[in-house]
Amino acid sequence: MSGSDLAARRRRLGARCAPVIGLALVLLACGAGDTDGAELDVVTEDGALRVVGRDDLRWNVEELTAPAGTIRFELVCEDAANHNLVIDEVDVEVAACAPGETVRGSVELEPGTYTYVCTVPGHERTMRGELIVE
Ligand SMILES: [Cu+2]
């Protein structure tokens, strides 16, 4: 398995396993510490959901799962564009970043299916992801 396969696998695990098995196992299963350095894990070491905005106007991850309550996000503006992260259904801007910045924010959500979207003009059509709150 190549390094990029491993990174992709870890991202998929990160997106799914957080709410199911809890933080302790997330750190084991999803791996703290990247070996290739090119991709960031979807769950930060302290349990926030890490969403990366890229210049191709896509999120790094398009499906996230989290337990209901306070959901913490880390938003990364990886390239040269500004991005924000808005939970569409409740119209809450959780975070906004400028190029190169990493910012944090949180939102209270009840169980349901939500859309996290970047509302910077021109980004909304492609920068959409599904957040499942359990
Ligand atoms: Cu954006």
Q: How far is the CA of 58 from the centre of ligand 1 (A)?
A: 8
Token pair 């890490």 is found at: 50
Q: What is the pLDDT at residue 19? A: 47
Q: How far is the CA of 43 from the centre of ligand 1 (A)?
A: 20
Angle (nearest 5°) at CA 10 between 6 and 16? 150
Closest CA to 83 of 40, 130, 34, 126: 126
CA distance 39 to 87: 24
Per residue in 78-117, pLDDT tens? 999 999 999 999 999 999 999 999 999 999 999 999 999 9
3-133: CATH topology? Immunoglobulin-like (2.60.40)
Q: What is the pLDDT at residue 40? A: 79
* Domain coordinates in residue numbering, the chain: 3-133
Per residue in 3-56, pLDDT tens? 445 544 555 444 444 444 444 444 444 434 434 445 778 999 999 999 999 999
Q: What is the pLDDT at residue 38? A: 54
Q: What is the pLDDT at residue 21? A: 42
Q: How far is the CA of 17 from the centre of ligand 1 (A)?
A: 26
pTM comes to 0.71
Q: What is the pLDDT at residue 99? A: 98
